[in-house]
Structure 1
Amino acid sequence: MKIGIVGAGAVGLLAGAYLGRHHEVHMIVRREEQRRMLTKNGIACDTLESPVPVKASCSLDEEVDLILLTVKQHHLPDVLDDGLPAGVPLLFLQNGMTHYRRASIDPRPCFTGIVEHGARKENDCSVRHTGKGVMRIAPLTDEGFGVYRRLFEALAEEDFPIYLEGRAETMLKKKLLVNAVINPVTAVFKVRNGELLTNPYLSDIARKLCEEACDVLSLSFPDEWDRVCRIAEKTGSNHSSMLVDLMEGRQTEVDAISGYILEEGTRPLPYHEFIVTAVRAIEWEEGGNTNE
């Protein structure tokens, strides 16, 4: 199978490495320097024995069977308006839910997924697999997977499992909630995920964020708080993606995550209002209000 992957950050590189072992992967990147490195070196992943050869370009010129969109939320509009081929199924792999609205009205076959792996980009052609998990994929229309079911089933590997889910909205809400609790708190206070459990003051902030998000998303607070705690414990030594973005001077996805909850809320959400403002302030101070 020929697979196009738009975006070569941590998730894009991880997917490219695992899928590239048995499929022809085309990495679509913005920078010529990264294109050269991927073409020359392939993708190195610390959990794989050797680098995985991939093709790389700055535009998608070849025919592919599937396109994975792994860019950040704020880059999606440019990517979707940049002439992606019609008729090729798109798999959205973003944090947050703002892409859910756009994808739901896109004329192309659209699917969404969540990545429960931990990954850290080491350089332009190398990724560290910091936590093994699964990828979950769901259709964005009532038509379901249809003729594309076998295509997605063919992606799964024993060490890179993929599960096909029935309802995209529920799946995305649960992932959004975890991100809305762990990401901004760790980013603002510059701590690893596990400190949300060991620091009682951070735990209280996280709990309040979880309560507000559950109310907006119509999710069960006891169930979701338990899940947040389990994930924070499992990924305790990790830096969240939002903290990494701030550390490296990049724009975060706080608007697509916490900002989405604020937009959807019908009552005051003081903890979300504060945390969004705090992240934006740090972005401004550290130069993360760029389009990188």
Structure 2
Amino acid sequence: MRIGVLGGGSVGLLVARYLSENHEVTVYVRRNQQKQKLNDHGLFLSSHTTPCKVKALMTNELKDEECVIVCVKQPDMNSVLPLLSYMNEKTPIIFLQNGMGHIDLIRDIAQPVYIGIVTHGALRKSDHIITHTGKGIIKLANFSGSEENLSAIIHRLNNEFFPFQIEKDWQKVLAEKLVINAVINPLTAIFEVPNGDILRNTYLMNLAKELCREACYILQLDYMDQWNHVQTVANNTKENVSSMWKDLKSNRKSENEAISGYLVKKSNSAVPYTTFVYNSMKALEVKKGINE
């Protein structure tokens, strides 16, 4: 299958690397330097010595594909969505974003849309080298397509080393991932600690519990179930650096608006802990001169 992966970050490169084993993959990137690196040297998984062959194009060179997987982060969604309007109306489009800020943006897309989450850990070492830091799964649910087509897509994408799983309720899938992101991401970014520190540091754990409680209240999820899930993820990725902290360190705009910001706007009552980390992240971005 001809697959277009939109975004050359850690998730995009990881997805492209594994899918390239059985499919013809084109990675669409924003910088010509990354395009040249991928085309000249191939895409390396850091645990392997041999690169895989992928084609790289600029995002504005997006062409017809049999499937498009959108892996850009939330702040970049507005710039890539207009490109999708030129795609064939039957081309399935898969969105793999943290947070839920993109939902209102994709409601009017003409193509069949499927929404998912990524539980893998990934670290982009360079423009063409990706490290798989934690084995996981990609969960996909139907948004505006059909269950039958989604099953067919997953059947073609799935492999034992990079599994895909179908889910019935896209809202529940995104909400559960949002809780994890709303707890781990801002705390690790603000305090500049790896994920595991929210369990190792008693005071951070207390903050994490309150953030989890508020997120579950807003999203109408069971607190104990989600707190157990947060602990599992934090423990399994204890030495990992969260994407939000990586963004701050690299002077890139974070997904704060789509994670903590989404919860603040959705809440009908005061959520002091979530509001505090949301404003703290905004303040850190201003301090570092990161543009709105």
Name the TM-score class by shorter chain: over 0.9
Name the CA distance, whole Å, in 2 between partners of 1:29 and 1:231.
29
- Give the Å deviation of 1:101: 2.2
Query: Is the Cα–Cα contact under 8 Å of residues 63 and 87 in structure 2 kept in the other structure?
Result: no
| 1:71 to 1:108, Cα distance in 2 relative to 1, 3 A | same
* TM superposition outliers: structure 1 runs of 4+ over 4 Å: none
- Give the Å deviation of 1:94: 0.6
- Give the Å deviation of 1:220: 0.3
Aligned to 2:15: 15
Please, which of 208, 211, 216 is the counterpart of residue 209 of structure 1? 211
Alignment of 1:1-292 (within 5 A): 1-58=1-58, 59-82=60-83, 83-87=85-89, 88-141=91-144, 144-289=146-291
- Give the Å deviation of 1:274: 0.6
- State the TM-score, normalized to the length of structure 2: 0.95
Name which of structure 1's ranges 120-129 and 74-83 shifts more when overlaid on structure 2.
74-83
2:71 is aligned with what amino acid? T
- Give the Å deviation of 1:86: 3.1
**Structure 2 residue matching 1:25: 3-state secondary structure:** strand
| 1:85 to 1:51, Cα distance in 2 relative to 1, 3 A | same
**Structure 2 residue matching 1:154: 3-state secondary structure:** helix
**How many pairs were matched up?**
289
Name which of structure 1's ranges 1-10 and 72-81 shifts more when overlaid on structure 2.
72-81
Name which of structure 1's ranges 224-233 and 75-84 shifts more when overlaid on structure 2.
75-84
Name the CA distance, whole Å, in 2 between partners of 1:15 and 1:284.
32
| 1:48 to 1:135, Cα distance in 2 relative to 1, 3 A | farther
Query: Is the Cα–Cα contact under 8 Å of residues 103 and 140 in structure 1 kept in the other structure?
Result: no
- Give the Å deviation of 1:77: 1.5
**Structure 1 residue matching 2:104: 3-state secondary structure:** helix
| 1:61 to 1:219, Cα distance in 2 relative to 1, 3 A | closer
Structure 1 unaligned regions, length at least 5: none
**Structure 2 residue matching 1:281: 3-state secondary structure:** helix
**Structure 2 residue matching 1:81: 3-state secondary structure:** helix
2:45 is aligned with what amino acid? C
- State the TM-score, normalized to the length of structure 1: 0.95
For residues 90-110 of structure 1, the C-alpha deviation after alignment (integer angstroms, 9 at most, x for no partner) is 100110001122223322110
Name the CA distance, whole Å, in 2 between partners of 1:47 and 1:158.
17
Name the CA distance, whole Å, in 2 between partners of 1:65 and 1:287.
40
Name the CA distance, whole Å, in 2 between partners of 1:48 and 1:18.
12
For residues 137-178 of structure 1, the C-alpha deviation after alignment (integer angstroms, 9 at most, x for no partner) is 11113x632334212211111100110111100000000000
Q: Percent identity among equivalent residues? A: 37
For residues 27-77 of structure 1, the C-alpha deviation after alignment (integer angstroms, 9 at most, x for no partner) is 111111111111111110124452111111113443210001011111111
Name the CA distance, whole Å, in 1 between partners of 2:135 and 2:289.
32
Query: Is the Cα–Cα contact under 8 Å of residues 5 and 25 in structure 2 kept in the other structure?
Result: yes
Please tell me the root mean square deviation across aligned C-alpha atoms, in Å. 1.3
Query: Is the Cα–Cα contact under 8 Å of residues 119 and 129 in structure 1 kept in the other structure?
Result: yes
